[in-house]
Copies of this chain bind each other. A is one copy, B any other.
Amino acid sequence: MARIVKKFGGTSVGDMERMRRAALRVKRAHEAGDEVAVVVSAMAGETNRLIALCQEASPLHDAREYDTVVASGEQVSAGLFAILLQSMGVPARSWTGWQVPVRTSDRHGAALIEEIDTRRLEERLARREVPVMTGFQGVGPDRRVTTLGRGGSDTSAVALAAALHAERCDIYTDVDGVFTTDPRIVAKARKLERITYEEMLEMASLGAKVLQIRSVALAMTHGVRVQVRSSFNEVSGTLLVNEDEIVEQELVTGLAYSKADAVITLYGVPDRPGRAAAVFGPLAEAGIIVDMIVQSTTPADGHAEITFTVPAEELGRALDALEGAREKIGFARLESNSDVVKISVIGIGMRSHAGVANTMFATLAEKGVPILAISTSEIKVSVLIDAAYTELALRALHSAYGLDAA
């Protein structure tokens, strides 16, 4: 007998037939003797519909009211899921965030889970009832409904698994697991049987959308074994594990890509003390996070180029901030481009093996792909390239690192 939290995302509960199939999975585990707690998202499309209603009511709306409106989606799913389980003979009941309660901070729309009080759920589990908890939400210190931000149901599930000391947290989604890279772009992408928390964290941060970053960080912190798997088939999925559980360590585990960045280049920046502060100060003040930075070696005339990336959705604000500080920085000219992609090679094997970055640069050079910027960390190397090269670069790198499916 194992205690397992099963989380079903929006597509997995997208209509009654899919919800029924999800409930059947829970029934099977329950009948096999497992103690199961369920976490559900809103039915696919529902959260967007509710957000649109809030926007229609007022573009600038009270986040507390937004939370009240949007949280209703999971309440509906949880009630329906409990009805389905009961109709299959499985004792079940729905639990909203305030009923459990899932106590959160008061940062409405992006609240943090502070504590899940599991006393009531433990009582129900002890009598073999299946609790069906609303994902994505909790209750704030002022007894108001809070939500955790988009994708927050993953975080709810992992937090519940940690609080219940569950043996595993199964995240059911619309893909078979975590892949070496996006199978829609690289046909030879392979599903990973296992991946370490750290690698998954990098993959999620760098563009893989299969799990919400916060949920991975939470799983790593609390040592929750997370399994990502499809709700549409019986394929085994991908297990998130500690480094010591990986038997045969590959050099590179996966490739991620993200089109969420834009690149800005300042030309003719005078070489004087405090130059970097003059450029990045105004951006920091505007709350814009700068990622990759390349500074050209200063040429003879005492002027340099500075290239860096910002989130694409904040490009306009970044340019405004830079233009506003033009005199202070003293740059001659500015160029920007949001048609770029950041490609990242990720693997904890990099720690002990040199040459991973070199393979990347050599492979891209061979294919004639210019590298606009580079950034590295302990377990990843990222390059910024023109978006037109996305597919070419991903396929070439996937082969170069020996990731292709046989």
Q: Name A residues whose Cβ lies closer than 8 Å to a Cβ of B.
A: 16, 19, 50, 53-54, 56-58, 60-62, 64-69, 71-73, 75-76, 78-80, 82-84, 86-87, 93-94, 96, 98-99, 143-145
Contacts and interface: CB of A to CB of B under 8 A. Distances in A.
B84 A16 contact: no
Task: Specify how many copies of this chain sit in the oligomer.
Answer: 2
Given A75-B68, A75-B75, A98-B98, A60 B87 contact: yes
A230 B16 CA distance: 38
Contact of A54 (B72, B79, B93): B79
A189 to B, nearest CB: 37
A57 B144 contact: no
Nearest to A142: B99
Interface residues of chain A: helix, strand, loop or mixed (majority) = helix
Nearest to A101: B143
Given A57-B19, A58-B86, A99-B143, A79 B93 contact: no
A298 to B, nearest CB: 52
Nearest to A77: B69
Contact of A62 (B67, B71, B86): B86
Given A68-B96, A99-B143, 14 more contacts: A19-B57, A57-B83, A58-B84, A58-B86, A65-B79, A65-B82, A65-B86, A66-B79, A67-B79, A68-B82, A69-B76, A69-B83, A72-B76, A96-B145
Contacts of A75: 68-69, 71-72, 75
A16 B50 CA distance: 12
A93 B58 CA distance: 14
Contacts of A96: 68, 145
A16 B55 CA distance: 11
B68 A79 contact: yes
A46 to B, nearest CB: 10
A190 B42 CA distance: 48
A83 B98 contact: no
19 contacts: A19-B57, A53-B80, A57-B84, A58-B84, A58-B87, A60-B87, A62-B86, A64-B93, A65-B79, A65-B80, A65-B82, A65-B86, A65-B94, A66-B83, A68-B75, A68-B78, A68-B79, A68-B82, A69-B76
